[in-house]
Every structure is written in structure tokens, then in C-alpha cells.
Amino acid sequence: MGLGVFGGSFDPVHNGHLFVAEAVREACGLSRVLFVPTRHGHHRAAPLTAGAARADMIRLAIAANTAFALDEADLAEDATGFTADLLPRLGARYPGEELTFIVGGDSLVRSRWDRLEAVLDGLAAFVIAPRGDVTQNELDAALADLAPQRRAKVRYIDLPLVAESATLIRARLAERRSVRYLVPEPVFRYINENELYR
């Protein structure tokens, strides 16, 4: 058993996130998966919605699954938004837990990862879920310079490709189109009640 760490902007959290988290939890035999929203967007534009609202939506989205939890460590004022800095914080908060980081293939390939070696050194496993149009060759190229002991921590999960994306959801909301069934129902209501992403 171990603890999954699912980081991201979650702007907003959607059904695709939940499916990936549950599938990785099951495949890797994890006891829990932490959803860890970031305050910063180093590899993309800054989140459109405040951290508190994104955390609220995650709470609503995961409420029915006792194997999911929210951790707000990366929303703290002194958080850097870099995974290499986040992992020691989580290690201190969850002593004795082996950490498994969950990442979408697009994030690994399309983003510049700061101190990827240090990230891998702080983990039991680094799990890559399929995302977008990223190919296996691109994933292999992104990891090509890793030492064998670090590369051995990388695991690919074979999942159906999830079409939902926060970008798509924000675009639909900006056009005043429905996102019902793309996001959990409580998140759908929260977005409407608070007029987010308009």
C-alpha cells in the first residue's frame, strides 16, 4: 500500500481526473490518493480561479470516495509550485508513507520539469497516465536521460484515453454552454452558483 499524489491546477476538477485517480489507485494498490492543487502554474498559464475555490470543488468532487483526500500544501503562501519542493512537505506530513506521483503524459512531454531527478528520488513510483495525443516515443524521449534506477520507478498505466480537459470545460463555460456530466454534479452546481469561468 502507498499514498498517491495527484498534483495539478484542477481548474476545475473534472470526471477525467477522478477516473484517472481511481484507476491508478486500483492498479498500484494505493491506500489513498491525495489531490494536491497548486497555487502556481509554472508549466502553463496561472489558474483562472482562486485556490480556495478550486479546493472547494475538489472537496465536493471527492466526497463520495473515502480513498480520496485533499491536501492543500501546494496552496500555501510559501509554496513554490514545484513538485521537487512539494514532495519533502508531503513526506513530513505523511511520515512513513511511500509516495506515488500521478502525472498525465502530456504534462511530462509538453512541460519542462524542474529537477525531475530529485522528484523521482523522493518517490516510490512515478505513474504516467495516457493523455492527449502523446506517443510512447515522446514519453521515452522525455525520460531518456534518466539513470536506470530512476527510470525503474516510472510506470505506464494502460487506461482508456480521457477526453475531458479543464481547457475544454473552461471554453464551454466561457461560451455559456453546459458542462454537466463533464464534471461531478456538485462541482457543476458550485460553478453555476458562483458564476465561475464566465
- Domain with residues 3-163, CATH architecture: 3-Layer(aba) Sandwich (3.40)
Exposure string of 96-134, with b = 16+ CB inside 10 Å and e = fewer, is ebebbbbbbbbbbbeeebeebebbbebbebbbbbbbeeb
| Cβ-contact 41, 10 below 8 angstroms | no
Tell me what pLDDT residue 171 has. 95
| Cβ-contact 35, 72 below 8 angstroms | no
d(CA 51, CA 197) in angstroms, rounded, equals: 14
Cell 506530513 appears where?
93
Tell me what pLDDT residue 144 has. 86
Tell me what pLDDT residue 44 has. 66
3-state secondary structure of 89: helix
d(CA 10, CA 21) in angstroms, rounded, equals: 13
Establish how many alpha carbons lie within 13 A of residue 52's alpha carbon, considering only the half-sphere containing its beta carbon. 2
Local confidence pLDDT in tens for the 198 residues of the chain: 799 999 999 999 999 999 999 999 999 999 999 999 998 766 667 788 999 999 999 999 999 999 999 999 999 999 998 999 999 999 999 999 999 999 988 788 777 788 999 999 999 999 998 776 778 888 888 888 899 999 999 999 888 777 778 989 999 999 999 999 999 999 999 999 999 998
